[in-house]
């Protein structure tokens, strides 16, 4: 009997999704979403591992029971950087620290400039507490782990292990740990030694996205052991989403969700000094012959969630607010000469000033400011942040910009993005690109038509955005002095970065 169905799992920051697809057609048969459970400890925020796994397992068992003998694979993707340590007996011995949790910042602060440069040269990542190694160091120190070797498993690695009792990871996940040598494609002993972890920590073998980790027959879940279902790791959700929409080299992906990201793939890593100074993140794509250049903007859709909570409105009112602004924008009734502007660092900042302590700044409020002005300021801020970050990418090499995620349902946000970048935005009309990417990783010959809606920039508003970027850049640089003392020591260096980005915008966006 040919098995016709495949399951994909996507563990996101805000929501997690389990989908059932027909392999041949890509038709969605079933999907169940749930809010990703979290909890707080004395140091910060954790993903609630037991709750997440219980919910996933409940859904998996239900799907398999309803389709006996017809499930071919389970394919897992998730956020990056988050994981646990497993001891020599295969027991999870640490909590699952959220990727954005800042408890390990002290270990990054202790690094010298030279050490940070070495980390970048080896891993392609700017040293930051979001990545796995500082979290591992914090866990080792605070839980006083010793006396044996512990293995670090990222979220997809861990759930694959639960299902099969086999340990592996995947390239795009490995390259978010801050311990994977990009050029050598192996784990870096030099990084482990830098954090004094060489005698305690190991990592699992690295396999390609979609490659079989093992089968449910070797696992310990009774309801699944009788079914021989292959288990595969799709990879880091942003990269898997890019695979799902068939991202090509020279395409720039704007991936939106709780956070927002810009992703470029190419056949070589971007490890030069400029990328290091601007805190751009390199990695390996789900197709390992490609490298990724990535920057995450820690605020995206969560800014809209903040807006709803702040003004005590529901999703329906928020959507109506957006629609009203969109209609006014199309009718040229909104002028961008002196709007409210939000620098959306509500959860820290990304490139080129990557700092978890960074905070948001709103400028332009007056006695006449109304709720809709604040909403426009938020969306303008998100678009200006994207434009600001994009100036640090090789935009002259970009053939097209592709947008996926919740932004596709917000025409105002999309139009402002096109005007900000002065580029056509190809909006992918696809629900859950990450789920499709996980399916494509497992079945390389799986193909499907992708519908795009192309949003063109308004030439009148493009010039307004260029003027706004000058103001935004000035506010961005000025507020950095409020963040911490480290900035004062490197302010001239940061000013050089800011100026280089501003100087290049006319080349990239004219």
Which residues have C-beta within 8 Å of that of residue 185, sequence separation ≥ 6?
171, 206, 284, 288
Residue 155 sits in the same domain as residue 55:
yes
Q: What is the DSSP letter of 252?
A: E
pTM over 0.85: no
Q: What is the pLDDT of residues 352-373, one digit of tens each?
A: 777 777 888 889 899 999 999 9
Which residues have C-beta within 8 Å of that of residue 493, sequence separation ≥ 6?
277
Which residues have C-beta within 8 Å of that of residue 221, sequence separation ≥ 6?
57, 61, 162, 163
Residue 133 sits in the same domain as residue 260:
no
pLDDT at 274: 85
Closest CA to 256 of 417, 493, 35, 489: 417
Q: What is the CATH number of the domain that holds 79?
A: 3.30.420.40
Count up the domains in the chain and report the number: 2
Asked whether residue 125 is assigned to any structural domain, the reply reads yes
Residue 449 sits in the same domain as residue 492:
yes
Residue 369 sits in the same domain as residue 244:
yes
Looking at every residue in the chain, the average pLDDT score rounds to 89
With tokens 């959860």, the residue in question is: 347
- Give the pLDDT band (50/70/90) at residue 505: very low
Asked whether residue 63 is assigned to any structural domain, the reply reads yes
Range of the domain at 192: 5-217
- Give the pLDDT band (50/70/90) at residue 479: confident
φ, ψ of residue 80 to 5 degrees: the values are: -95, 175
Asked whether residue 234 is assigned to any structural domain, the reply reads no
More confident residue, 483 or 16: 16
Q: What is the pLDDT of residues 12-59, one digit of tens each?
A: 988 999 999 999 888 899 999 999 999 999 999 999 999 999 999 999
Residue 147 sits in the same domain as residue 244:
no
Neighbours of 467 (CB within 10 A): 11
Q: Where are the alpha helices (DSSP H) in 331-455?
A: 371-390, 411-421, 433-442
Alpha-carbon 162 to chain mean position: 24
The enclosing H or E element of 105 equals helix 105-109
* C-alpha span between 37 and 405 (Å, rounded): 21
Kindly write down the DSSP assignment for every residue of 247-297, as one continuous string: --TTEEEEEESSSEEEEEEESS---SHHHHHTTPEEEE-SSTTSEEEEEEE
More confident residue, 418 or 337: 418
Residue 137 sits in the same domain as residue 262:
no
φ, ψ of residue 334 to 5 degrees: the values are: -115, 125
Which residues have C-beta within 8 Å of that of residue 125, sequence separation ≥ 6?
119, 131, 175, 176, 178, 281, 282, 283
Residue 198 sits in the same domain as residue 305:
no
């Amino acid at each position: 009997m040919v098995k016709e169905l495949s399951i994909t799992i996507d563990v996101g920051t805000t929501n997690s999704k389990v989908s059932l697809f027909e392999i041949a057609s890509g038709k969605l048969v079933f999907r169940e979403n749930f809010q990703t459970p979290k909890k707080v400890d004395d140091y910060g925020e954790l993903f609630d591992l037991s709750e997440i796994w219980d919910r996933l397992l409940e859904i998996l068992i239900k799907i398999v029971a309803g389709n006996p003998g017809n499930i071919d694979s389970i394919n897992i993707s998730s956020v990056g950087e988050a994981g646990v340590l497993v001891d020599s007996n295969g027991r999870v011995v640490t909590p699952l620290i959220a990727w954005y949790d800042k408890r390990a910042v002290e270990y990054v602060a202790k690094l010298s400039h030279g050490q940070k440069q070495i980390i970048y040269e080896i891993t392609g990542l700017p040293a930051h507490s979001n990545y796995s190694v500082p979290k591992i160091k914090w866990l080792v120190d605070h839980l006083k782990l010793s006396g044996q070797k512990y293995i670090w498993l990222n979220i997809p690695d861990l759930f694959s292990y639960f299902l099969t009792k086999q340990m592996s990871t995947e390239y795009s996940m490995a390259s978010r740990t801050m311990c994977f040598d990009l050029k050598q494609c192996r784990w870096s002993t030099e990084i482990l030694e830098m954090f004094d972890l060489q005698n305690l920590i190991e990592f699992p073998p690295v396999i390609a996205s979609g490659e079989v980790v093992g089968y449910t027959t070797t696992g310990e879940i009774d309801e699944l052991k009788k079914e021989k279902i292959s288990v595969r790791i799709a990879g880091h959700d942003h990269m898997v989403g890019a695979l799902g929409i068939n991202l090509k080299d020279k395409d720039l992906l704007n991936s939106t969700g709780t956070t927002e990201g810009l992703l470029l793939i190419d056949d070589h890593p971007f490890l030069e000094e400029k990328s290091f100074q601007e805190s751009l993140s390199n990695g390996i794509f789900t197709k390992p012959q490609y490298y990724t250049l990535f920057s995450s903007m820690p605020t995206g859709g969560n800014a809209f969630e903040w807006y709803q909570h702040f003004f005590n409105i529901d999703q329906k009112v928020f959507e109506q607010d957006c629609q009203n602004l969109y209609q006014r924008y199309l009718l040229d009734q909104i002028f961008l000469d002196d709007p409210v502007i939000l620098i959306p660092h509500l959860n820290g900042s990304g490139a080129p000033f990557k700092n978890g302590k960074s905070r948001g700044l709103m400028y332009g409020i007056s006695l006449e400011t109304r709720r809709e002005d604040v909403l426009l300021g938020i969306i303008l801020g998100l678009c200006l942040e994207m434009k600001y970050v994009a100036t640090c990418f090789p935009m002259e090499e970009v053939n097209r910009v592709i947008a996926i995620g919740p932004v596709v349902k917000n025409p105002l946000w999309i139009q402002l993005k096109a005007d900000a970048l002065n580029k056509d935005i190809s909006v992918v009309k696809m629900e859950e690109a990450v789920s499709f990417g996980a399916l494509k990783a497992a079945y390389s010959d799986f193909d499907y038509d992708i519908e795009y809606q192309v949003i063109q920039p308004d030439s009148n508003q493009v010039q307004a955005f260029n003027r706004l970027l000058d103001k935004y850049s000035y506010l961005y640089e000025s507020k950095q002095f409020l963040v911490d003392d480290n900035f004062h020591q490197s302010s001239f260096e940061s000013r050089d970065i800011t100026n280089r980005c501003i100087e290049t915008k006319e080349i990239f966006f004219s």
